Chains A and B, each alone.
Chain A
Amino acid sequence: MLLGVVLVTFLLIRIGTRDASLMLAGPFADAAMLERIRSNLGLDRPLYEQFFIYVGHLVQGDFGLSWISGRPVIDEIRPRLVATMELLLPAFAIGGFAGASLGIASAFRYGSRFDHTSRFLSLLGFSVPTYWIGLMAIFLFYSVFGIAAAPMGRIGMASFPPMPVTGSVLIDGALAGDWDVVIDALHHLALPVAILAVIIAAPILKHSRVIALDVINSDYVSYARSCGLPPRIVRQIVVRNSLAPILTLAGSELTGTLAAVSLLELIFAWGGFGQWGLNAILSGDFAAVQGYVAVIALFSIGVFLVIDLLVLWLEPRTRS
């Protein structure tokens, strides 16, 4: 699967987009210089040769060099991926839990005011563009109320970045015992995490509700009710049987959000993986784009593997 992703990405960007040679050459370079730059980048070789060279390096963990910065792509990715995870994982935990809980609760209160309200909120979360919600949140909480941190990265200028251990400002600050940095990092995380959590929660809420309703209306739950089992036990049965499909859905959302988080990173100047990937695409930095897509693919594979294992554990029926 990974090879397929690498191949398709490789072909798409080489056929579909312009490379970065013009940017590297500058507007005053002559045609001969432009060709020399393209030759240095290996772009004058046949496509299949470029692909085999790239894959040969890839299997050794070498993602190539970013044409724009000249640094190894893997060195560009590593700190940025940590920055993105610092944003994505807490948002996913909060949004996923909130979405699933509200979705299941709505299913139990089908047709009630609570159900309608949560469906409306879910629809809002679906409909409102990420970029708009981010900018509006900054306008309200930073410019008007003055309670949010400046949308300028992971910590404020007044804080020293802690010695990098994990790359996460929050964790490294805690490890160093620098609680000012930890508080500052949390302050900077609050708004983007809240926005991302809402974006993640919306589809999970909607689908969790549908999944839970299916389970509630199933024969075995009807049987459990008709046997006189207490509502608490029926709820446990519903939740237990809903978890596996909800987890599968949540895994899908997580992998999709890794790509979508780039817009939020742009707005909050987060310096994350998504923001870097977007810039690489716009600049035609081929190795960087390939690295970006490969990492997303690897992340997706990892997430689905974990989800599958969790489902295996939750659902004894799947073990046979």
Chain B
Amino acid sequence: MAAAAFCTTTAAIAQNLVIAGVSAPTSLDPDVWTPGTIETMVNVYEGLVQYGYTEGPDGTRTINPTDIKPLLAESWTSNEAQTEYVFKLRPDVVSPYGNRLRAQDVVWSWNLAAERKQTGGFLRRTAAVTNVEAIDDSHVKFTLSAPRRMFLQILALYTPHIIDTTEALKHATAEDPNALAWLKQNTAGFGAYHLTQLRPGEAAMFEVNPNYPFEKPYYKRVMYREVPAPANRVALLQGGDVAIAEEVPLDQIVSLIDDKRTKVTSVPGTASASLRINVTKPPFDNKLVRQAVAWALDYDALNQNVFRGKGVRARSILAPANTGYVEAYQYDHDPEKAKALLAEAGFKDGVDITLEYAAAWWWEEALAIQIADQLQKSSFRVDLKKLPNAEMAARRNATERSSPFFLHSANAFALDPTYSFSLQVYSSGVGNNTGYEKPEFDKLVDEALVEKDDAKWLDLVAQAQQMVAEDAPVIPTYYPGTWFVSAPCIKGNLWQPHNRVMWRYLSCAE
């Protein structure tokens, strides 16, 4: 039985990684955003390529978004126009079921993503992939409708997930020809780990893929344990019962920084805590009102009161890790300027607005309350409205877009500016929950998507950031950071844009 793997001898425990997470995965489908799913599936499904990284003298690893290295594919070529790529698959990539990776697996998986039109389908469209075909058993050809700088970065992601179709399709039925029901409760990837046992509501157990052709991970087994209470995740880490505590609130992290029983590291990450303004709903259809909001915020106070002084100020719709990042947002705390802008917009006696929020992120409620209070001092009369998570998720989703003014955090899976632009503020972006539609901005993005000259590309990216900052449909505040809270011996963590921990990089320095 898989639980036998977690026996109690010191040597065995040394190679068993126990993680306390918010939720054990309820579904193993990487395209579905249920709690615990992506946290685990990034370790099961790997891409054709991966990010290169550098290692500092203290062992800290940092990815290099422009350095893409082979992974499941050993090499690739592209045509002059960068619209056709041919990947040669490694011959020694074998799934836990003993099936070699074939080109047909890649083709089937990418076509399934296109059909399902969920996260994998979105990434395929964003990468402008129009066709994926097998040239032979070990060569796959991707055809793009236009060159895309972000194409290789998207191939480094866990989705569209490459499935061992030889195994998966054994479980297909007439009603379920793609074996999706089986794939929801089982894994069939070519990555470093595979699922051995799923105890719903309790834990998921993983073991190293015995056929993994790369350097064998230090941790042979991983138990991803559901521990809903953050205080308990911390207590378990301090007690030595788990090696990693995920999703620890920042106010608890601050007290752990000097705790010798834990190790805390962080990166800014790619997800800023931002205000989103629905530009189709009055009074926010007036740019001056949006700018007034941006000037009304006391950013330093927000950092101290919400992010415990640990936040990194967000001065662009892009994350700092993006090549081409510029500090486009030059708004600072100036209530008088905010009032003047409101008066210019025709609201010299103030204006009534509603700020909606939920509890999707740990900082959301505190930030909403602080922002409402600050806005009141600049003649905004704010009605603060708390909604259940599911309700708020629907209202801020781009398909409904019914919330006028709300908080949001969007994580960019690719460190390419055009990815974030296309997702968040391009007029037809699937993540455009502000209703921002500006042909001039779309034109900048369209040009940047295909521009091969670096200098011209950087200029286009800078202009796009400045335009969004000026129009302010999004007002980013701070990057709360991606925090890695672990036992002191854990080392080697390599932050990835998907913001989840990749177990194969970890080891314990005993």
Contacts and interface: CB of A to CB of B under 8 A. Distances in A.
Interface of A: 17-20, 22-34, 66, 68-71, 76, 79-80, 135, 138-139, 142-143, 146, 150-153, 157-161, 266-269, 271-272, 275-276, 279, 282-284
Nearest to B394: A18
Given A135-B229, A151-B227, A76 B200 contact: yes
B184 A70 contact: yes
B185 A69 contact: yes
Given A19-B390, A28-B122, 10 more contacts: A24-B32, A26-B118, A135-B229, A138-B235, A151-B235, A152-B236, A153-B203, A157-B223, A275-B201, A276-B200
B33 A150 contact: no
Nearest to B411: A27
A142 B430 CA distance: 47
Contacts of A28: 118-119, 121-123, 423, 430-431
Contacts of A283: 34, 390
Name the residue among A29, A271, A276, A284 with the largest chain B CB count within 10 angstroms: A29
B229 A150 contact: no
A33 B430 CA distance: 12
Q: Which 6 A-B pairs have the closest CB atoms?
A: A28-B122, A158-B8, A271-B202, A271-B201, A18-B390, A33-B117
Interface residues of B, number: 57
Nearest to B180: A70
A152 B225 contact: yes
B225 A69 contact: no
Contact of A150 (B23, B122, B236, B391): B236
Contact of B228 (A79, A150, A269): A269
A26 B223 CA distance: 25
19 contacts: A20-B390, A23-B32, A26-B122, A27-B33, A28-B119, A28-B123, A29-B121, A29-B399, A68-B26, A68-B34, A69-B200, A135-B232, A152-B241, A158-B7, A267-B229, A267-B232, A269-B227, A276-B201, A279-B35
Contact of A160 (B1, B20, B203): B1
Contacts of B390: 17-20, 22-23, 282-284
Contacts of A272: 201
B239 interface: yes
A269 B224 CA distance: 12
Interface in B380-404: 388-391, 393-394, 397, 399
A22 B185 contact: no
Interface string B388-427: 1111011001010000000000000000000000010000
B455 interface: no
A135 B228 CA distance: 12
B134 interface: no
B231 to A, nearest CB: 5
Given A28-B119, A30-B117, A69-B26, A269 B202 contact: yes
Given A68-B27, A158-B8, A27 B397 contact: yes
A116 B434 CA distance: 61
A30 B430 contact: yes
A271 B32 contact: no
B170 interface: no
B32 A269 contact: no
Contacts of B3: 159-161
Contacts of B117: 29-30, 32-33
Interface in B228-245: 228-229, 231-232, 235-236, 238-239, 241-242
Nearest to A65: B181
Nearest to A31: B399
Contacts of B225: 152-153, 269
Contacts of A66: 26
Contacts of A266: 228-229
Contact of A142 (B26, B181, B239): B239
Interface in B205-258: 223, 225-229, 231-232, 235-236, 238-239, 241-242
Contacts of A80: 200-201
A32 B125 CA distance: 15
B175 to A, nearest CB: 12
A69 B184 contact: yes
Contact of B399 (A18, A34, A160): A34
Given A26-B118, A76-B200, A142-B239, A151 B430 contact: no
A284 B387 CA distance: 14
Nearest to A79: B200
Name the residue among B123, B229, B391 with the largest chain A CB count within 10 angstroms: B229
Contacts of A275: 201, 228
A150 B397 contact: no
A138 B203 contact: no
A31 B398 CA distance: 9
Nearest to A267: B229
A282 B121 CA distance: 27
Contact of A151 (B27, B236, B393): B236
A24 B34 CA distance: 7
B284 interface: no
Contacts of A29: 117-119, 121-122, 399, 430
Contact of A279 (B23, B31, B388): B23
